[in-house]
A and B are shown apart, each in its own frame.
Chain A
Amino acid sequence: MTVTAVTRPTGPDPEPTADAARPAARRRTTRVPVTVLASFGVVALVVAWSVAPGLFTTHDPAAGVPADLFQSPSAAHWFGTDHLGRDLFSRVVHGTASSVSSALVAVAIGVVVGGLIGLVGGFLGGLVDSVLARFVDVLLAIPSFLLAVVIVSALGFETINAAIATGVSAVAVFARVMRSEVLKTRSAVFVEASLLLGGSRWHVLLRHVLPNASRSVLQLAVLQFGLSILVIAGLAFLGYGDPPPASDWGLLVSVGKDYPLAPWLVWAPALVTIATVLSVNRISRWLRTTD
């Protein structure tokens, strides 16, 4: 699952070329497509679930009702109940916070660490750049899911560690994108002008290079957010997240698969995951086309 986005493993990035302005494309996309609006809706709902799960469900996610084992989905239990008679909808909603916020942690690690590596390497160039580029090559050479598994096994099986591991495995992608953006801006005429006018390197870095790179990094961050949800769900599925009283989406699927006669135990959390990731990916694609 790679996470990782596909990137070239080694070798220098091709020289970036200036893109022609496309006013026509800009005009065309001022209206937000319906699917993108729907995607924002899904993401907003998921965020609301993770911030205030209590508003959406009155059932206790941990308390089982022995009389209600394996109820199929109904008006009382939207997603049915599990092997202990716990309301699955409530478990999904309460598991959102850890599933989604851990993906945010992962992306934050990727953006900060990877961004810094790319920024320093691209801006300083020379030996520093070569050393950092080799480091990024190394990170890319290890399959990202395997890397995440090794890191999480070294740190211990907890969801926060799964998030850290996912973040580390995403560092390389961010470093590459940031580096190529920095290289593109550094050679631009307005940067040269700014230096000639007496701007310091810090000034150029903060005022010109970073703002110009932020757009591409934002798109990548959104894409990685969706991907991180998948990776963390995969780690939770293998049992490398918080143990069962928790209800991460991947863990719910993993537990639910042992009860083939209650297929909703797998499908409800699975569909929630797919809808979330699909929406995030749609938003990322939309951001890319609105440039």
Chain B
Amino acid sequence: MSSDYARYAVRRVLQAAVVVLLAYVFTFVVISVLPGDPVSNTLRNPENGFTEDEITRIIAYYGLDQPVYVQLWESLTRFLSGDLGVSLRSNLPVSQMLGDVLPSTLRLAGTALVVAVVLAFALAFAVQYLPPRLGQVLRSFPSLFLSVPNFIVGLLLLQVFSFQLGLFRVIDSETPLATFVAAVALGIPVSAQIAEVLIANLDHESRQEYAAVARSRGLGRVRLFWKHLLKPSSLPVVTVIALTVGELLGGSLITEAIFGRAGVGSLVQRSVSTQDLPVLQAVVALAAVVFVVVNLLADLLYPLLDPRVRLDGGRRTGSTTPTTDPVRPQREVVAP
């Protein structure tokens, strides 16, 4: 097991590093190959009054007169040495701009993740243990949550908690309560995904023989849930939670816009409207790093949490008990 695990770990770490590098290259290509050159557009704007000579010098300074692959190479080596470049608009180092807004987004996304997990577990528990008729209604909640645009949830919560109840003001968007309400808006669609998987897994586990045995020994339903069903059902959720990190980062764009928070999402919005490419490039790279690292950790943790998972020559091959694949989130939609 241990040497298998080591091989598996090394393989996954290398894979993750390659994916992060390729994500950087991909973003660079998307941003720079597509038409439109923000620097020369700004410079050639007659209002700014640069002479042709100055324009050439500035363009040479940013390296924009070089072929794309040279630019890519320079950008990539700078990225690897930890230099994220300088913003085209504010002339601040991008790493400093990111550092300023990152704490706000981390608070928001972290709270949202907690909210999502708590909501999902509460919903899954309720589906199992409320009367079937009510449980059936609750079962439709995840798909309802997934059908509501997240800006609607945000607007609704803002309307109720800020404008009508007056519990917080949009200007102090960083108070704990304001953060919590924004996190609920961000967390609800995420909780739906976790709940879908959790409910499916609980259904699956409660049909297993060991559950029937436990019931025949006279175990109550609540005890059965806590003692037997919860652990095997929630292990696969680790993977799903890791996958939703991307959603939290992407969703923060909209949530921060609605709640007026100064986070990474609003930085992206500002950079998009001003075409501040180094900032966009850095945010995408950062998001890819976060996503890849979180998923790497989840994948490395999983074999340690679930001893049933076999590692075959460095590959993770799934649990040894024949299952109908409850690990996969339903939304992946495969295997008729």
Contacts and interface: CB of A to CB of B under 8 A. Distances in A.
Interface of A: 1-12, 14, 16, 19, 134-135, 137-147, 149-151, 153-156, 173, 176-177, 180-181, 215-216, 219-220, 223, 226, 230, 233-234, 237-238, 240, 250, 253-254, 257, 260, 263, 266, 270, 273-274, 277-278, 281-282, 284-285, 288, 291
Contacts of A226: 147
A183 B22 CA distance: 25
With most chain A CB atoms within 10 A of its CB, the pick from B147, B189, B254, B283 is B147
Contacts of A257: 155
B299 interface: yes
B257 interface: yes
Interface string B71-86: 0000000000000000
B331 interface: yes
Contacts of B189: 1
A282 to B, nearest CB: 7
Interface of B: 12, 15-16, 18-20, 22-23, 26-27, 30-31, 34, 36, 143-144, 146-152, 155, 159, 163, 189, 193, 197, 239-240, 242-244, 246-247, 249-251, 253-254, 257, 268-269, 272, 275, 280, 283-284, 287-288, 291-292, 295, 299, 315-318, 325, 328-329, 331-336
Contacts of A8: 239, 243, 328
Contacts of B197: 6
Contacts of A135: 22
B254 A237 contact: yes
Contacts of A137: 15, 19, 22
A274 B152 contact: yes
A3 to B, nearest CB: 8
A173 B333 CA distance: 10
With most chain B CB atoms within 10 A of its CB, the pick from A16, A139, A149, A223 is A149
B159 A5 contact: no
A234 B185 CA distance: 14
A1 B247 contact: yes
Given A9-B291, A282-B143, A149 B253 contact: yes
A10 B240 contact: no
List 6 A-B pairs, minimum CB-CB distance, nearest first. Answer: A145-B250, A291-B336, A143-B250, A143-B246, A154-B34, A278-B147
B9 to A, nearest CB: 12
Contacts of A1: 149-150, 189, 247, 250-251, 254
A12 B103 CA distance: 35
Given A1-B189, A6-B243, A19-B335, A238 B269 contact: yes
Contacts of A7: 243, 329, 332
Contact of A141 (B251, B253, B292): B292
A141 B23 contact: yes
A14 B317 contact: yes
Given A143-B249, A220-B333, A234 B315 contact: no
Contacts of A11: 12, 15, 299, 315-316
A288 B152 CA distance: 28
Nearest to A220: B333
B292 A6 contact: no
Contact of A234 (B150, B329, B335): B150
Contact of B250 (A2, A139, A177, A237): A2
A138 B149 contact: no
A16 B335 contact: yes
A146 B249 contact: yes
Contacts of A263: 159
Nearest to B26: A138
A155 B34 contact: yes
Contacts of B268: 146, 149
